Amino acid sequence: MMKQLTALVCGLAALVITGTMAIPVLGQTAVSPYKLTVFAKAPSGLSAPDSIAVLHGHVFVGYGDGHAPDGSDGLNSQVVEYRMDGSWVHTYTVVGHNDGLKVDPVTHLLWALQNEDANPNLVIINPQTRQQKQYSFDPTLHGGGYDDLVFRGCKVYISASNPANNPNTGPAIVSARIEGGYVAVEPVLAGEASAIDIPTDATVQLNLQDPDSMTLDPLGNLVLDSQADQEIIVVSDPGTNHQRALRLPLSYETPSGLMSVETDDTAFITSSGGFLLFADKNLNAVYTLSKNAFAPGTAYTAADGGPFVGTLDFTSGIITPIVTGLGDPGGMVFVDTSKHDLDPDWNSDDNQCRDRGWDAH
């Protein structure tokens, strides 16, 4: 018995030494043929990993550490840079509670948003030089903070979180641009905009009380998670006369029927080759979800209201669980291994956006 125990301990140690992506998972279950492993545990002293960004084979994870989401405690958050084997590279410190984290696909700078409930700030990090610069916002138009962001062509869009009013008469999505030392914003989608409900095809009036995570679908549409509202909003042609919003209520099957569910990040599969990374704030870990081949175009989402990670049907809004036994899944990204630089973010013509004036340090 002692020999068997010793062999087991040595085997586990070997897995850890050869790379954290090989650490076995205890307590969390992925349905076959998916494979689940631990990409990285929270470094000592850090907790609540959430947003994830990928650039040139490096992974950046924001740790909220349980700090005040309005920055009122005056504490800092950490953004940790890892290699693809889960080994630590560098830790960046940002003022406030980090939430949104995205790579600008043109400048290859890392944008970190802090304080999603109020008093937001933006920190832009140059991962090559490790320089960083903080930008402030004017008082928000909706009374809350800013949560997440996406780059689309030459524009950047930010979700306007924690609105002060119900109904939400402020913007739920804004466009942003750097002007000197602060970020100027303009409304794009109103919190009470009209939308087409995808399952019923009916026109509805929104009341977005919790704009949260954002991403782009494979067609370049904005995909906004209104978390507590348990729905996703898809915006095509944002900021133009042809702008259109769609609503997708979210649910999953239970023994007693469909149940509405809250979700956080959503990621779209862009290639058959690759893997998903997702963070769990309660379990203090980032996980790798892999299989031999993914179906391009499929949407996966972190249903923190489950809690589970599953595939999302954009016709019905039904989420099918893939990974269970989780605590509080949140940040998620698909790493497309068919791309040379392992950068999953939607891109445009680089030269077209070079004159936008963003500070590249």
Cα separation, 124 vs 52, in Å, equals: 15
**Is the confidence at residue 193, as pLDDT, over 80?**
yes
Within 10 A of 142 (CB to CB), how many other CB atoms are there? 23
Q: What's the average model confidence in pLDDT over 334-350?
A: 62
Query: Is 3 a residue whose pLDDT tops 70?
Result: no
DSSP-derived pairing of the beta strands 76-83 and 274-280: unpaired
pLDDT of 20 > 60? The answer is no
Scan for tokens 């076995």, then name that residue: 24
Q: Please, where are the H alpha helices in the chain? A: 2-17
82 phi and psi angles, rounded to 5 deg: -120, 155
As a whole number of Å, the end-to-end CA separation of the chain is 60
Amino acid (1-letter code) at residue 117: D
Q: Which of 221, 192, 244, 225 has its CA nearest to residue 100?
A: 225
Q: 206 exposed, middle or buried (CB, 10 Å; 0-12, 13-18, 19+)?
A: buried
* 63-105 pLDDT, tens digit each: 999 999 999 999 999 999 999 999 999 999 999 999 999 999 9
pLDDT 10s digits, 347-357:
444 555 654 44
Residue 73: the pLDDT is 96
Average pLDDT over residues 229-251: 97
- 194-197/244-249 β-pairing: parallel
As a whole-number percent, the residues of the chain with pLDDT over 70 amount to: 86
Check residue 239 and give its pLDDT: 94
Q: Could you read off the pLDDT of 122-161 as tens digits, one per residue?
A: 999 999 999 999 999 999 999 999 999 999 999 999 999 9
Q: How confident is the model over 283-312, as a mean pLDDT?
A: 98
Give the C-alpha separation, 62 to 69, whole Å.
Answer: 13
